[in-house]
């Protein structure tokens, strides 16, 4: 399967990428290519121009940013897995990155591409939503920060504008856990459940349980009111719209989500 | 057309490529390196695994233009003259293949795995090779070959 014809430009810095995107309404950024190239091969996606930001190594970092941790958008999944700063301050991210696809996928895929793609099955998307991460985007008008709650707007849709490049993701220093159910090794999540302590509350997030990564706010409220993990997890149905597809029915997903949320909460 | 300059198995190569040309077809059709196989063409099977700057990647999911400036290693680049690479030698000795279609991909995935983790446990080997599928062997002898290669200091 060969993608449709496209033009190719490699950006040497972020503002050049912004400028190149401005040339063509059908242009797309190329980071690790591990969501985009499969979609292009199937011709689900047919950009006329690819702007390659895969070599922007100055966007490949994990560092302290005040009381938060800042992660460059071009940081690869494999970088997250081994990162000492994350292990100390937000271990959940590296642990979840280790569950993405397989080593070959983790060598190429980036955290920025994982969230910018807006895939409801993205593990890191769910975790960053649960952590209430802040997304920093640069566009023609300069830089802006987007809160996680406003970032995931629909299936394969985010708050990023056409000409905006996601440059950095900021997360709190905190503890959490992520549980992922897969049918076979290296599969995407049939269901994933995240729990993390953020600003004195326990946040709960879900993967593959609706049109985007979701927060299970009814579950969170029940916990805040003192419910046990099992009682809180029973509320998942009120927070999710699980799809039926080739890997699971909606009912089975709901069952899995209740079990995974309970187990995640028991570990908090 | 876009110009690329990369090093493949130690030799420098310059070419004009269509941006949509996938690395695996560049290697097979332009350079004649047919050791890298296409199994699934959907980023699943790992038959097309090569090393780009010493890391395993599925070359059916990388455009040749993305490898510009990189060092690419395919199965043809592992042996030194008549001496097989220790991972190839271990696959041979442990009978880690039957039809052999998946083997170049497994060998390169193993080289990458052992570089990151020279002494993997059995579980780490199985997880480290989860991106590669074999329809013949049942994996048992592949795991033994990786253990043998690790002992040989590959
Ligand atoms: C076999 C396989 C298994 C996988 N399994 C999993 C899994 O289990 N869990 C999981 O979460 N993911 C999985 N993935 C997806 C993988 O994590 C991708 O790498 C990731 O979703 C996309 O990151 P990328 O860097 O490859 O982005 P690309 O494919 O390059 O880009 C994806 C989209 O994001 C846009 N984009 C990229 N970077 C930016 C940026 N900085 N700013 C703005 N827009 C940007 C692109 O324009 C494109 O639309 C799998 C992929 C494969 C091929
Ligand atoms: S041919 Fe590339 S992963 Fe199967
Ligand atoms: S030996 Fe035949 S597919 Fe692996």
Claim to verify: residue A47 and residue A61 sit in the same structural domain = no
Are B2-77 and B86-151 equal in CATH topology? Answer: no
The CA distance from B5 to B14, in Å, is: 4
Claim to verify: residue A111 and residue A185 sit in the same structural domain = no
Handedness of CA A105, A111, A114, A120 (dihedral sign): positive
B 50-79 → A contacts, CB under 8 A: 55-58, 61-63, 65-66, 68
pLDDT at position B63, please?
Answer: 98
Domain enclosing residue A77, as ranges: 57-172
Whole-prediction pTM value? 0.97
pLDDT digits (tens, 9 = 90+) for A206-252: 999 999 999 999 999 999 999 999 999 999 999 999 999 999 999 99
> Which residue of chain B is at minimal alpha-carbon distance from A36?
B61
CB of A70 closer than 8 Å to CB of A62: yes
- Is A14 part of a structural domain of the chain? yes
3-state secondary structure of B19: coil
Claim to verify: residue A93 and residue A110 sit in the same structural domain = yes
**End of a domain among A172, A197, A219?**
A172
Looking at residues B112-133, what average pLDDT do you find?
97
In which residue ranges of chain A is pLDDT below 50? none
State which CATH number among 1.10.150.120, 1.10.10.60, 1.10.20.10, 1.10.3210.10 fits the domain covering B86-151.
Answer: 1.10.150.120
Residue B20 to residue A5, Cβ atoms within 8 A? yes
Claim to verify: residue A104 and residue A117 sit in the same structural domain = yes
pLDDT at position A190, please?
Answer: 98
Residue B58 CA: which ligand 1 atom is closest?
Answer: 53
Backbone angles phi, psi at B15, to 5 degrees: -160, 155
Claim to verify: residue A194 and residue A141 sit in the same structural domain = no
Residue A28 CA: which ligand 1 atom is closest?
Answer: 47
The CA distance from A265 to B4, in Å, is: 51
- Is A63 part of a structural domain of the chain? yes
- Is A2 part of a structural domain of the chain? no
As for how many domains chain A has, the answer is 3
Residue A37 to residue B61, Cβ atoms within 8 A? yes
Which ligand has an atom closest to residue A98 CA? 1
DSSP A139-207: ETTEEEEEEHHHHEEETTEES--TT-EEEEEEEES--EEEEEE-SSTTPPPSEEEEEEEETTEEEEEEE
**End of a domain among A172, A207, A242?**
A172
Say what angle helices B140-151 and B86-93 make with each other, to 10 degrees: 140
- Is A1 part of a structural domain of the chain? no
Claim to verify: residue A188 and residue A207 sit in the same structural domain = yes
Residue B144 tokens read as 């033994």
The CA distance from A42 to A38, in Å, is: 6
- Is A195 part of a structural domain of the chain? yes
Claim to verify: residue A69 and residue A15 sit in the same structural domain = no
CATH 3.40.50.2300 at B2-77, yes or no:
no
**End of a domain among A131, A154, A172?**
A172
pLDDT at position B153, please?
Answer: 87
- From chain B, pick out residues whose CB is under 8 angstroms from the CB of A110: none
pLDDT at B154 over 80: no
pLDDT at position A182, please?
Answer: 95
pLDDT digits (tens, 9 = 90+) for B43-89: 999 999 999 999 999 999 999 999 999 999 999 999 999 999 999 99
Instruction: Give me the residue spans of the domains in chain B.
Output: 2-77, 86-151
Claim to verify: residue A27 and residue A73 sit in the same structural domain = no
Claim to verify: residue A65 and residue A138 sit in the same structural domain = yes
- From chain B, pick out residues whose CB is under 8 angstroms from the CB of A11: none
Interface test with A, best of B2, B19, B134 (most A CBs within 10 A): B19
């Amino acid at each position: 399967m060969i993608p449709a014809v496209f033009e190719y430009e490699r950006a040497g810095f972020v503002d050049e990428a912004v400028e190149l995107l401005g040339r063509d309404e059908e242009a797309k950024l190329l980071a690790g290519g591990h969501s985009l190239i499969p979609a292009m091969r199937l011709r689900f996606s047919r950009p006329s121009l690819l702007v390659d930001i895969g070599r922007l190594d100055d966007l490949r970092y994990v560092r302290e940013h005040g009381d938060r941790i800042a992660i460059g958008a071009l940081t690869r999944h494999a970088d997250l897995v081994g990162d000492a700063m994350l292990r100390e301050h937000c271990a959940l991210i590296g642990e979840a990155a280790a569950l993405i696809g397989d080593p070959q996928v983790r060598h190429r895929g980036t955290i920025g591409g994982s969230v910018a793609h807006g895939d409801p099955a993205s593990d890191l998307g769910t975790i960053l939503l649960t952590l209430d991460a802040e997304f920093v985007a640069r566009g023609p008008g300069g830089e802006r920060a987007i809160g996680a709650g406003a970032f995931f707007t629909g299936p394969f849709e985010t708050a990023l504008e056409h000409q905006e490049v996601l440059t950095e993701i900021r997360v709190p220093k905190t503890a959490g856990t992520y549980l992922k159910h897969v049918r076979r090794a290296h599969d995407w999540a049939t269901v994933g459940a995240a729990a993390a302590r953020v600003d004195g509350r326990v946040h709960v997030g879900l993967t593959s349980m609706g049109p985007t990564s979701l927060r299970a706010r009814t579950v969170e409220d029940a916990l805040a009111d003192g419910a046990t993990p099992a009682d809180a997890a029973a509320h998942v149905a009120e927070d999710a719209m699980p799809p039926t597809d080739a890997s699971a029915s909606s009912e089975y997903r709901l069952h899995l989500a209740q079990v995974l949320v309970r187990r995640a909460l028991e570990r908090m | 057309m876009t110009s690329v300059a990369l090093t493949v198995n130690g030799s420098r190569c310059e070419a004009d490529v269509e941006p949509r040309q996938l690395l695996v077809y560049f290697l097979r059709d332009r350079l004649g390196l047919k050791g890298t196989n296409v199994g699934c063409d959907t980023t699943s099977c790992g038959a097309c695994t090569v090393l780009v700057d010493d890391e395993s990647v599925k070359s059916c999911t990388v455009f040749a233009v993305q490898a510009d400036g990189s060092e690419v290693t395919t199965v043809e680049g592992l042996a030194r003259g008549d001496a097989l690479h220790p991972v190839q030698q271990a696959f041979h000795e442990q009978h880690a293949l039957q039809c052999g279609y998946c083997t170049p991909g497994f060998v390169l995935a193993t080289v990458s795995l052992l570089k990151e983790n020279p002494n993997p446990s059995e579980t780490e080997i199985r997880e480290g090779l989860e991106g590669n599928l074999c329809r013949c062997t049942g994996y048992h002898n592949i795991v033994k070959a990786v253990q043998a290669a690790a002992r040989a200091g590959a």
